[in-house]
Amino acid sequence: MGRHPLSLVMVVLAIMLLPYGYTWKEYRIRRSIDLSAANPLISDTKLPTDLVPSGYSLHLHPVLDRSIFSGRVNITLLCAKATNQINLHAHHDLTVDELELEVVRIGDAEGGAKVPIRRVDRVPKKPLLVIYFHDSLTAGAAYEVRLRFVGNIWENVEGIFEGKYKQQQQQQSTGPSEAAGTESEGVTEPEEHSFIGTYFRPHHARRVFPCFDEPSYKVPFNVSIVRPRTHHVLFNTALERTVETGDGKHVIDVFKQTAPMSTFTFGFLVSDLQQVTPSLSDEKEDERLKPTIRVWARRDFQKNVADVQQRVKLALRKLQEYWGVPLPLEKLDVVALPGFSYVKPADNWGLIVFKESELMRGYYNLAQELVYQWLGSWITPHWWSDAHVNKAIAGFLSADTAIKIDGGDEFEGKYPMTILYSIYYEFSKRYPHSRITAMKQETTCSKTELVLRMLNYTLGEATFRRGLQRFIQHREYKTFYGEDVWEALTKQAHLDQRLCESVTVNDVVNSWITKDRIPMVRVVRSYANRTATVTQRLYLRERPHDVPEQDKMLWWIPLVVVRQDRLNFGNVSTIRWMKQVREVTLDELPGPDEFIIVNPEEIGPFPVNYDERNWNLLATFLQKEESRTMIPVYTRAKLLHDAWNLAYAGDLSFGTAFNMTLFMKYERNHLVWNPVFTLIDHIGRHIDMSAVHKKFEMYVRTLLTPLYEELVGNQQESEEMWKANLRSLAKNFLCRAGYKPCIEEAQRAFKKWMDSPDPDAGNPVANQFICPVFKWGTREEWEFGLQRVINFPESRVKSERTYLLKTLAGCPSQPFKIDRLLNIMVLEDNGNFTDNDISLIFKMLSGGSSGYSTLFNFLKNNWDAIKLRFKDRESLWDNMINSATGLFTTQEGYDMVSQLYVQHQGEFGTAEHIIEKSLKNIKEETKWSDENLPVIEQWLDHFLASNGVADQKFLG
């Protein structure tokens, strides 16, 4: 319930997730951004409750060839409180015929009497139509509002939208004489086909007809729709009859009355798509199965969706078993719509419209839309503020369904780690959601889904399922509040004795979803007493750890413990709850030579820290091949992910964290490796200005080379996608570390471009090869890339130039390359570079020490010329100061920036506060470096010496 199109949010989430080894495409399998609950425009236009709708009678006439529609609607109302006005939602794009507007009283002695209208207003800047009367409407009486309207059909997907697609004409059978022609004579141009559809979520019904466009108003609809004879209409309900219009070209389809439903679940599609023919066995089964499943697609695409009906049935059956009650639908239409541009399907009641690619594989997307038929259409959140609970349940149950059907093959094992790691990352910032406020709603949905997963473990799957079944009982065609879910789970947990009577699920859940934070649990064992002190506090990665009131933040945390002497990861019983208390004690733990693991399999969304001895016991156990696999994949990944992130946050010694990576020499599971790439990137960027960085790169090479060479040696034509992704990641990081075979391969590919007769005509080099060449290659190769940017033809795709520009600045490790680029763009003011280009370069230079230190020296050495050049370009000046001064992490860097600040005090203008903030941040990062770099260097020295590292395969 409640989804909005993506733009900047998608980009930021993609950037946030890429370091974690997940592309946006992979993440999108799991998530959709849900911003409507945070949209201020929705709450601003909530209607008064004096009048309540009881039904709609709606006639629509969309005109395909003119991109317009007309219609009429009769809305029956019950007057709950005397009022002299009727307020309806009506978008400003919708033209309402105010002269034909009527209001009549119905259902009593005065039934049929027109109510005199004083005036009709359209409220400025709000999508409201207000009808004023001379006298107040009578409380308890029923009325009917009758309106006519016209509107436009747009190509976007808000309200009614239109689209076109092409497909090959069907070939007619030919006689011998016709078939004797040439092959070219049989070729036909593709036919163009048109369609019209609706997308009313979250509040776009008002674009099509005046209505009560709020989810809490659930009433029946009687609908008729005009269509061309060449097309058919799919609607929420089945067709009742078809009526002739008299023009010979159009007919009117009249549909069965809908069940009570919200306006956002209303939907129809006018098209000439064809029904995918079910197999004979499917047809026999359809006689017994309700609802009847029909799949629709263009003729050329039908083979791609031939199995969709079976997949829908299987997912539907699993969900019906889960809910314990079937969907009260007579039919369910599933459509593969060509050219459908929305990021998520249109999940109307009884009609789900997908973009074609979303129906190609897997069960998750299908299951999610089926869940929305139960929660969203049949049972609806009362208002958009409760939509996050609805969406979280849908996300959890969809993943659960997909995993139960085929093991969740489409996730490649990454559920729930994809959303879990992004939550860890976002909520451990000093200022979560600081980049985009609207991300808050999405991360709230994600965290709520993880809390549901935690409850499924801690209450037990059977109790959790019965609790959700209890929740939907007696709410058919009604609405709910988020609290209703938690209350139903509480009652079931008490009944099943899975929760003590003094505790409610509301208490547990509210401690998690009301804070934009997550906790960190620390376990310190007393080995002699076989006890452990467990404490909780706010988890913060970013420094300084100065979040206000962090000492007051406490959570309800389930403590699930696995012990070495009883390795049983199937037992997820909570041995103790931290009931919003700072500290508890665990008793009867194993002996001093045996480890414990708290929160295995990421049962709860929180990292766990241990004392050094327990960490080392774990590290030793994981290095033994016979014992390593006794710990499941998710738990191995968690231990590694927690250790490195806690070290990065300053809560764990880096020596201990590095020890936890020693078992990766034997590890080949991609889920365990994914956090390693993230942490190599984070730590590498942080220390790349120090002398330790060279040793760190040698460690990375030693860690990754066996993995990569094994993956290359075992490469097969048909292999799992995760192997290809893992090989690509390993190669990428080895290239960055100077792995010679990778550099040489990249240079061979790049040389083909340099040797081409017309290098500006196009780029024949794969993107993966460009950065290694610009980083490790010659001055000539880099200069060639620069000239391609300068001479880039107008006719080529601009994104290719942007990528070249980013790699020219962001990849080189040699200052002379960067200095050359800065001189051309800033001092020479070359006309080939726009202000946006310069801003992009500054941003790319902030990604590594060679970039920002060269930029700093360029600024220092050319201060006066740069000040003059950027005199009236404050944004560029601010960006430059930020990128040139904000990324240093050592005392040497602090001294450099401080000297520049003193030397030019009063000359920074709009960037004065930027450099002051930089100095504050560098001081904090310097403390981190002083504390951690000696520890990291000591560990690396020991590791490299004990492994006899050879460097013949590497540059740098």
Mean pLDDT across the chain: 88
Query: Is the pLDDT reported for residue 142 higher than 90?
Result: yes
Q: Where are the alpha helices (DSSP H) in 272-339?
A: 280-286, 308-323
Assess if CATH 2.60.40.1730 describes domain 44-168+190-271: yes
Task: List Cα–Cα distances, 85 to 212, 833, 942, in angstroms.
Answer: 14, 59, 81
Give the whole-number percent of the chain exceeding pLDDT 70: 91
900-929 confidence digits (pLDDT tens): 999 999 999 999 999 999 999 999 889 989
For residue 672, the model assigns a pLDDT of 94
Contact (Cβ atoms closer than 8 angstroms) between residue 281 and residue 211: no
Contact (Cβ atoms closer than 8 angstroms) between residue 56 and residue 211: yes
Task: List Cα–Cα distances, 347 to 222, 813, 954, in angstroms.
Answer: 20, 50, 54
For residue 395, the model assigns a pLDDT of 93
Phi, psi (rounded to 5 degrees) for 763: -105, 110
Contact (Cβ atoms closer than 8 angstroms) between residue 450 and residue 419: yes
For residue 23, the model assigns a pLDDT of 36
Phi, psi (rounded to 5 degrees) for 403: -65, -40
429-444 confidence digits (pLDDT tens): 888 876 555 567 778 8
Question: Is the bond into 5 cis (omega within 30 degrees of 0)?
Answer: no
For residue 840, the model assigns a pLDDT of 95
Residues carrying CATH 2.60.40.1910, the chain: 517-642
Reading the block at residue 105, the tokens are: 């009283």
For residue 20, the model assigns a pLDDT of 33
Query: Is the pLDDT reported for residue 15 higher than 60?
Result: no
Least confident window among 528-542, 712-726, 781-795, 881-895: 712-726
For residue 283, the model assigns a pLDDT of 53
Contact (Cβ atoms closer than 8 angstroms) between residue 207 and residue 158: yes
Distance CA 451, CA 482 (A): 14
Task: Identify any residues that bridge with 252 across adjacent strands, giving them in sequence order.
Answer: 226, 243
Pick the CATH number of 517-642 from 3.30.420.40, 3.30.1490.100, 2.60.40.1910, 1.10.1370.30: 2.60.40.1910
pLDDT band at 110 (very low <50, low <70, confident <90, very high): confident
Distance CA 262, CA 278 (A): 32
Query: Is the pLDDT reported for residue 592 higher than 90?
Result: yes
Closest by alpha carbon to 196, among 208, 185, 188? 208
- 478-495 average pLDDT score: 95
Active site residues: 369
Looking at domain 743-953, its CATH architecture is Alpha Horseshoe (1.25)
Contact (Cβ atoms closer than 8 angstroms) between residue 812 and residue 782: yes
At residue 285's C-alpha, the angle toward residues 283 and 289, to 5°, is: 115
Query: Is the pLDDT reported for residue 701 higher than 70?
Result: yes
Contact (Cβ atoms closer than 8 angstroms) between residue 157 and residue 6: no
Reading the block at residue 906, the tokens are: 């009063």
Query: Is the pLDDT reported for residue 752 higher than 60?
Result: yes
pLDDT band at 156 (very low <50, low <70, confident <90, very high): confident
Distance CA 642, CA 648 (A): 10
532-552 confidence digits (pLDDT tens): 999 999 999 887 888 888 889
Query: Is the pLDDT reported for residue 261 higher than 90?
Result: yes
Contact (Cβ atoms closer than 8 angstroms) between residue 340 and residue 157: yes
Residues carrying CATH 1.10.390.10, the chain: 273-378, 381-514
For residue 339, the model assigns a pLDDT of 87
Query: Is the pLDDT reported for residue 288 higher than 60?
Result: no
Reading the block at residue 868, the tokens are: 């003059």
Assess if CATH 1.10.10.10 describes domain 273-378: no
- Cβ neighbours of residue 655 under 8 Å, at least 6 residues apart? 935, 938, 939
Closest by alpha carbon to 391, among 315, 323, 442, 320? 442
64-77 confidence digits (pLDDT tens): 888 999 999 999 99
Residue reference for tokens 């809908």: 258
Residues carrying CATH 2.60.40.1730, the chain: 44-168+190-271
For residue 183, the model assigns a pLDDT of 43
Query: Is the pLDDT reported for residue 298 higher than 50?
Result: yes
Distance CA 889, CA 899 (A): 16
Per DSSP, the three-state class of 470 is helix
Distance CA 129, CA 145 (A): 12
Distance CA 215, CA 212 (A): 9
For residue 952, the model assigns a pLDDT of 45
Fold designation for 381-514: Neutral Protease; domain 2 (1.10.390)
Closest by alpha carbon to 513, among 378, 398, 393? 393
Query: Is the pLDDT reported for residue 368 higher than 90?
Result: yes
Identify which has the larger pLDDT, 288 or 217: 217
27-62 confidence digits (pLDDT tens): 333 333 233 333 434 556 789 999 999 999 999 999
For residue 763, the model assigns a pLDDT of 87
- 134-140 average pLDDT score: 95
Phi, psi (rounded to 5 degrees) for 297: -160, 165
CB atoms within 10 A of CB 713: 7
Give the whole-number percent of the chain exceeding pLDDT 90: 68
Query: Is the pLDDT reported for residue 182 higher than 80?
Result: no
Query: Is the pLDDT reported for residue 304 higher than 60?
Result: yes
For residue 549, the model assigns a pLDDT of 85
Residues carrying CATH 1.25.50.20, the chain: 743-953
Task: Identify any residues that bridge with 196 across adjacent strands, giving them in sequence order.
Answer: 162, 270
Least confident window among 9-18, 552-561, 792-801: 9-18
Query: Is the pLDDT reported for residue 935 higher than 50?
Result: yes
For residue 4, the model assigns a pLDDT of 32
HSE-up of residue 510 (Cα within 13 Å, Cβ side): 11
833-867 confidence digits (pLDDT tens): 999 999 999 999 998 899 999 999 999 999 999 99
For residue 629, the model assigns a pLDDT of 92
Burial class (CB in 10 A: 0-12, 13-18, 19+), 535: middle
Question: Is the bond into 544 cis (omega within 30 degrees of 0)?
Answer: yes
Contact (Cβ atoms closer than 8 angstroms) between residue 524 and residue 562: no
Identify which has the larger pLDDT, 425 or 14: 425
For residue 287, the model assigns a pLDDT of 53
| Single-letter amino acid, residue 380 | T
For residue 740, the model assigns a pLDDT of 87
Task: List Cα–Cα distances, 341 to 39, 157, 458, in angstroms.
Answer: 21, 7, 40
Distance CA 709, CA 730 (A): 9
313-354 confidence digits (pLDDT tens): 999 999 999 999 988 899 999 999 998 888 788 889 999 999
- Cβ neighbours of residue 759 under 8 Å, at least 6 residues apart? 753, 784, 788
593-612 confidence digits (pLDDT tens): 999 999 999 999 999 999 99
- Residues across the chain: 956
**How do beta strands 221-228 and 51-63 pair?**
parallel
Distance CA 763, CA 769 (A): 12
